Structure 1
Amino acid sequence: MAPLTSGKTRPVRLADIAKAAGVSHGTASNVFARPEIVREEVRERVKAAAEAMGYGGPDPKGRLLRAGKVNAIGVATGEPLSYFFDDPFARVMMASISQACDATGAGISLVSAANSEQLAWNIQSALVDGFIVFCMEGDSRLVQLARERKLPFVALDLDSDDQTVAAIGIDNIAGAGLAARHLAELGHRHFAVLALPCADAGFGPTTQAQVEMALYSGTRDRLRGYFAELSSFDIDVSLVPIYETVNDEKSVWAGLDHIFAAAEAPTAILAMSDRIALHALDWLRQHDIAVPGDVSIVGFDGVPESAISEPPLTTVAQPIAEMGRRAVKAILENDGSLSRQLLPVELVVRASSGPPPA
């Protein structure tokens, strides 16, 4: 049976239930919000009227909006929703954000869309106190949408050149330099780079000049960090092959097919993410290329999977969990000030890196 309404088009409201039960609006409201202060017979009368009229209770959104705070954080990205669960970096970040929210009793709303129209709608309609803009460097539209809501927001991995955006991130140039220096000090002189995306145009061989024009600052800065450090060891970086991936198995394996088809194979691979490096380890294993006996590889991120790979992966570890905790704090304890926090990284040396073959 369809719910009854008090008119032809208007849905049943709490006032209608109060009138039908013969009680005041305040008493009817207390039955749903604070039932312990209402006499049992009155509660039963109001509930019976609500059931007869198909009324499920007050809309919680109205109560929350009247209070001015909903005690929830939106985590926004233009990536498909599956990104939060498929990507190792994203999983660690989301676990940290969830733990920080649990500690304060706050909820989380995942705001994602496959196209810009859906993203705009989701940002505008999300019932949250603020946004964590997740892995959206170069995406000015997402920042604009967050600003239009006039709610606090903080960006993770956003272009560090934009000083008007509250952000929590790392020094990608310095972090990449740690990886390159480690391999160069081990004696490596023949390198290859497996890069993160430059834009959204796909994957394939690329050049230093093309990476310098990349939409994503993390890709640009990590290559700058690699090449600045390699140049200090008198390595001709113009000869270092760069292959742009989309951070998945297909593009990483295509990149290694390309790189190892050259006349001179590298003895060291600089991977711009742990996910890239882990896919690379699988390819190298399938091609009977020993790590680190034939080739060394260093990742970037410090995700848990890097510690249990075969062999365990040397990586530049970001403080991912701390970034998540600080992002939640920046939203829930927002005082209107602009906060930009640069957190340190560290090189974690494991078994995937060693001297070049004799």
Structure 2
Amino acid sequence: MASLTVGNRRPVRLADIAKAAGVSHGTASNVFSRPEIVREEVRERVKAAAEAMGYGGPDPKGRLLRAGKVNAIGVATAEPLSYFFDDPFARVMMAGISQACDATGAGISLVSAANNEQLAWNIQSALVDGFIVFCIEGGSRLVQLARERKLPFVALDLASEDGSVATIGIDNVAGAAMAARHLTGLGHRRFAVLALQFVDGRTGPVSPEQVQTAVYAGTRDRLTGYFQELSRVGVDTSKVPVYETANDATSTIAALEAIFGVAEPPTAILAMSDRMALVALEWLSARKLKVPDDISIVGFDGVPEAAVSEPPLTTVAQPIAEIGRLAVKAILENDGTTNRRQLPVELIVRASSAPPRG
């Protein structure tokens, strides 16, 4: 219940307002919560008393908590808050989440933080009915924190064998295999991989040993899908350069400089996100390298920007917005069961891929 403390006096409460206005506690409460059922003269008298005593009205948090539901969903990530607005994948996902929340009248609370301590506090204090957890970075930590709240939660893109964690995702192995199969079918045999992070806080070239110790199974699964198809046509995958990035321009450009700094660069790049692939398109264009004449690129995600890039990007499209909508439904309609859903992906062939020269 809202209150105001002046000096050392005790807080002003709704009961004080009711007494000052000469009405019952229930009538005073109705003035703030159901004013249409209170006579105008009584409403004005209660409001005048509240204004004179500096009372701002009942605290909505108290009412919501008493009801047992707050009709809001927390969307949590260990990334900075700007991630929700800067990343193409996150923007599409949030559009799907927003559409589902709009349809049900539910609110959204974005939960992120610059460090683990602040993240833990933000998740513990968020006034929500459950969490949608973006497992991009710090995924296992986010799941642990969400579990500690003892509220329903669903993890997105968390390749986990823990059957107690509700997840919604895709078959990363199959999706990556589609991309590699497309390029090998065009005749490519020299490849490089722009990878998402295998562990937190690391970028640069990745050894086979580092791949096996990956924290993020989704990244490892995409590389597995790539390599399965490359091996099938005789490509020695031990010689395929793999560069771990933070899925941003800085680390992607550093990877590209290394990839094209050798005597015999690849004819095709497999990028584990459209964001990296779009950075690569700009970087190559600035260096007068033509896509797909000099180099083919296939991304992963199917973000809207991929369709309007120059050239339009071939990509493995996942149903991003649908994942968001299903995640909202999993929270709002939670019945105590743990559901693990895997949605299909499709290869969208555009102008960024073609047979290699010669």
State the 1:141 CA deviation: 2.2
CA-to-partner distance for each residue in 1:323-353, whole Å, 9 max, x for gaps? 0110000011111111000000010000000
User: Compared with structure 1, are the counterparts of its residues 102 and 310 closer, same or farther at alpha carbon in structure 2 (3 Å cutoff)?
Assistant: same
Deviates more, 1:166-175 or 1:154-163: 154-163
In the alignment, which residue of structure 1 is the partner of 2:103?
103
CA contact (8 A) 1:195 1:271 kept: yes
CA-to-partner distance for each residue in 1:171-215, whole Å, 9 max, x for gaps? 111110000010000000000111111223332122232122121
Q: Is 1:120–2:97 an aligned residue pair?
A: no
3-state SS of 2:146 partner:
helix
Distance 2:4 2:185 in 1: 77
3-state SS of 1:223 partner:
helix
Distance 2:258 2:282 in 1: 16
In the alignment, which residue of structure 1 is the partner of 2:295?
295
Distance 1:355 1:226 in 2: 18
User: Compared with structure 1, are the counterparts of its residues 337 and 4 closer, same or farther at alpha carbon in structure 2 (3 Å cutoff)?
Assistant: closer
Q: Which TM-score applies when normalising by structure 1?
A: 0.97
Distance 1:276 1:140 in 2: 24
Distance 1:186 1:268 in 2: 10
Distance 1:126 1:312 in 2: 40
Q: Is 1:318–2:318 an aligned residue pair?
A: yes
Structure 1 runs of 4+ with >3 Å offset: 3-7
In the alignment, which residue of structure 2 is the partner of 1:173?
173
In the alignment, which residue of structure 2 is the partner of 1:219?
219
In the alignment, which residue of structure 2 is the partner of 1:283?
283
3-state SS of 1:224 partner:
helix
Distance 2:6 2:93 in 1: 48
State the 1:244 CA deviation: 1.2
What one-letter code is carried by the residue in structure 1 that aligns with 2:300? F
In the alignment, which residue of structure 2 is the partner of 1:270?
270
In the alignment, which residue of structure 1 is the partner of 2:91?
91
3-state SS of 1:23 partner:
coil
3-state SS of 2:61 partner:
helix
What one-letter code is carried by the residue in structure 1 that aligns with 2:165? V
CA contact (8 A) 1:204 1:245 kept: yes
In the alignment, which residue of structure 2 is the partner of 1:61?
61
User: Compared with structure 1, are the counterparts of its residues 163 and 150 closer, same or farther at alpha carbon in structure 2 (3 Å cutoff)?
Assistant: same
What one-letter code is carried by the residue in structure 1 that aligns with 2:66? R
User: Compared with structure 1, are the counterparts of its residues 305 and 4 closer, same or farther at alpha carbon in structure 2 (3 Å cutoff)?
Assistant: closer
What one-letter code is carried by the residue in structure 2 that aligns with 1:246? A
Distance 2:201 2:79 in 1: 15
3-state SS of 1:16 partner:
helix
Unaligned runs of 5+ in 1: none
CA-to-partner distance for each residue in 1:132-175, whole Å, 9 max, x for gaps? 11134663222122112111111101123222100000011111
State the 1:5 CA deviation: 4.4
3-state SS of 2:253 partner:
helix
User: Compared with structure 1, are the counterparts of its residues 84 and 143 closer, same or farther at alpha carbon in structure 2 (3 Å cutoff)?
Assistant: same
In the alignment, which residue of structure 2 is the partner of 1:141?
141
CA contact (8 A) 2:138 2:200 kept: no
In the alignment, which residue of structure 2 is the partner of 1:161?
161
CA contact (8 A) 1:129 1:151 kept: yes
In the alignment, which residue of structure 1 is the partner of 2:81?
81
Distance 2:321 2:31 in 1: 42
Distance 1:350 1:277 in 2: 13
User: Compared with structure 1, are the counterparts of its residues 222 and 145 closer, same or farther at alpha carbon in structure 2 (3 Å cutoff)?
Assistant: same
In the alignment, which residue of structure 2 is the partner of 1:210?
210
What one-letter code is carried by the residue in structure 2 that aligns with 1:104? T
User: Compared with structure 1, are the counterparts of its residues 9 and 180 closer, same or farther at alpha carbon in structure 2 (3 Å cutoff)?
Assistant: farther
CA contact (8 A) 1:137 1:158 kept: no
What one-letter code is carried by the residue in structure 2 that aligns with 1:168? I
In the alignment, which residue of structure 2 is the partner of 1:131?
131
State the 1:118 CA deviation: 1.1
Q: How many percent identity over aligned positions?
A: 78
Q: Is 1:241–2:241 an aligned residue pair?
A: yes
CA contact (8 A) 2:253 2:279 kept: yes
3-state SS of 1:341 partner:
strand
Deviates more, 1:232-241 or 1:201-210: 201-210
In the alignment, which residue of structure 2 is the partner of 1:328?
328
State the 1:253 CA deviation: 1.2
Distance 1:317 1:291 in 2: 20
In the alignment, which residue of structure 1 is the partner of 2:45?
45
CA contact (8 A) 1:316 1:348 kept: yes
Unaligned runs of 5+ in 2: none
For the aligned residues, what is the CA RMSD?
1.4
State the 1:9 CA deviation: 4.5
CA contact (8 A) 1:6 1:16 kept: no
In the alignment, which residue of structure 2 is the partner of 1:70?
70
Distance 2:100 2:164 in 1: 25
In the alignment, which residue of structure 2 is the partner of 1:14?
14
CA-to-partner distance for each residue in 1:272-321, whole Å, 9 max, x for gaps? 10000000000110111110001100000000000000000000001101
CA contact (8 A) 2:77 2:137 kept: no
CA contact (8 A) 2:12 2:53 kept: yes
CA contact (8 A) 2:78 2:138 kept: no
